[in-house]
Amino acid sequence: MVKRFVSELLEENTYVVELAGRVFVVDPGEGASSFVEQIAGKTRVTVLITHAHADHFCSLQNLNYDCLFLHRLEKVSLMSPEKHLGNYLDISSLDVKSHQICELDDLPSPWSYIHTPGHTPGSVCFELKGDILFTGDTVFSDAIGRTDLPGGSDEKMRSTLTALKKHFAENPHLNILPGHGPESTASKILVRNPYFRAL
Ligand SMILES: [Zn+2]
Ligand SMILES: [Zn+2]
């Protein structure tokens, strides 16, 4: 159901999810468009972005998509190469038409989201109810995302991790699919990830 593509740029993960005849793409990273096309064919995809850093959406303009879901606090960064780090990553010409942006409250079931600020103000984790959590750059298998980039906050990250710790304890079988690196599970992260152990 979920297929992963790893980009060369920053080894970011692109996830393609097939659900009830629809194809969803979580964080379309560098060079991911042909991978997505192999799965989706001519079907229009729906895109979910955990946060607006360019490494997590730079394939967007090459995708045939109907809707782009991201937190409203990330919309500004989507258009700003200083904020989405496109300048730094040498990706400056990103074309996102505002009418293609959809509100997170309109996410189709069984998708839901958790607002997880810290890495960026509008970072979110996307959940496929009780089964998979796509954590972007908020939580990795053995680490967490940086808080020293524009819009990052140590304090917000601490509250986010506290809330996620509770969520992980209540859903130990949740598969954790991060924006970079290997997948894990909620129970493994609680035991092995030093940032959760230290809470
Ligand atoms: Zn990031
Ligand atoms: Zn990243």
CA distances in angstroms from 97 to 18, 53, 65, 74, listed in the order given = 25, 17, 11, 14
What is the structure's pLDDT at 96? 72
Q: What is the pLDDT of residue 93?
A: 62
What is the Å distance from ligand 1's center to 192 Cα? 22
Distance 180 CA to ligand 2 centre (A): 6
Cα of 55 vs centre of ligand 2, distance in Å, is 6
Task: Give the per-residue pLDDT at 87.
Answer: 79
Spatial separation of the C-alpha atoms in residues 162 and 139, rounded to whole Å: 12
Which listed ligand is nearest to 178 at the C-alpha? Answer: 2
The number of distinct structural domains making up the chain is: 1
* Ligand with minimal distance to 122 CA: 1
Q: What is the CATH number of the domain that holds 55?
A: 3.60.15.10
Tokens of 13: 């993960």
Q: How far is CA 192 from CA 37, 85, 143, 180, 196, in A?
A: 36, 30, 10, 17, 8
Cα 124 from Cα 107, distance rounded (Å): 13
Q: For residue 178, how far is its CA from the centre of ligand 2 (angstroms)?
A: 9
Closest listed ligand to the CA of 119: 1
pLDDT at 155 (0 to 100):
98
- Domain hosting 144: range is 2-197
List residues, by chain if needed, whose CB lies under 5 Å from ion ligand 2: 55, 137, 179
CA distance 131 to 37: 25
Q: What is the pLDDT of residue 156?
A: 98
pLDDT averages per 10-residue partition of the chain, 199 residues: 94 96 96 96 96 93 93 90 81 70 95 98 96 98 96 97 98 98 98 96
Residue 149 is predicted with a pLDDT of 94
C-alpha 92, offset from chain centre? 20
